[in-house]
Amino acid sequence: MFAATFLCNGAALSTCRSGHSSNAVLSCRMRITPDDIIIRPLDDSDSIEELTDLLHRGYKVLGDMGLRYMATHQDADMTRKRISHGECFVAVYQDKIIGTINFYPPESIGGSPWLDRDDVCEFGQFAVDPEYQENGIGTRMMKFVEDHAQSKGFPEICLNTSEKAPHLIEWYTKLGYRFIEHVDWDLTNYRSVILSKTLTPEK
Residues 54, 146 within the same domain: yes
Q: Beta-carbon neighbour count of residue 71 at 10 Å?
A: 23
Question: Rounded CA gap, 52 and 186, in Å?
Answer: 22
Residues 112, 125 within the same domain: yes
Cα angle, residue 150 at apex, residues 148 and 155 outer, rounded to 5°: 140
Residue 139 within a domain: yes
* pLDDT at 176 (0 to 100): 96
Residues 89, 175 within the same domain: yes
User: Which residue range(s) make up the domain with 138?
Assistant: 34-198
Residues 10, 55 within the same domain: no
Confidence (pTM): 0.84
Residues 55, 17 within the same domain: no
Residues 164, 125 within the same domain: yes
Residues 101, 184 within the same domain: yes
Residues 57, 155 within the same domain: yes
- The predicted-structure confidence for 112-150, as pLDDT tens digits, reads as follows 999 999 999 999 999 999 999 989 999 999 999 999 999
* pLDDT at 202 (0 to 100): 60
Residues 132, 147 within the same domain: yes
Q: Which strands form 11-13's sheet, in the order they lie side by side?
A: 11-13, 5-8, 28-31
Nearest partner of 167 among 202, 197, 138, judged by Cα: 138
Total domains, the chain = 2
- The predicted-structure confidence for 38-60, as pLDDT tens digits, reads as follows 999 999 999 999 999 999 999 99
CATH number of the domain where residue 131 is located = 3.40.630.30
Residue 107 within a domain: yes
Residue 24 within a domain: yes
Residue 203 within a domain: no
Residues 193, 116 within the same domain: yes
Residues 19, 4 within the same domain: yes
Residue 192 within a domain: yes
Residues 56, 20 within the same domain: no
Question: Rounded CA gap, 162 and 188, in Å?
Answer: 9
Residue 19 has pLDDT above 60, yes or no: no
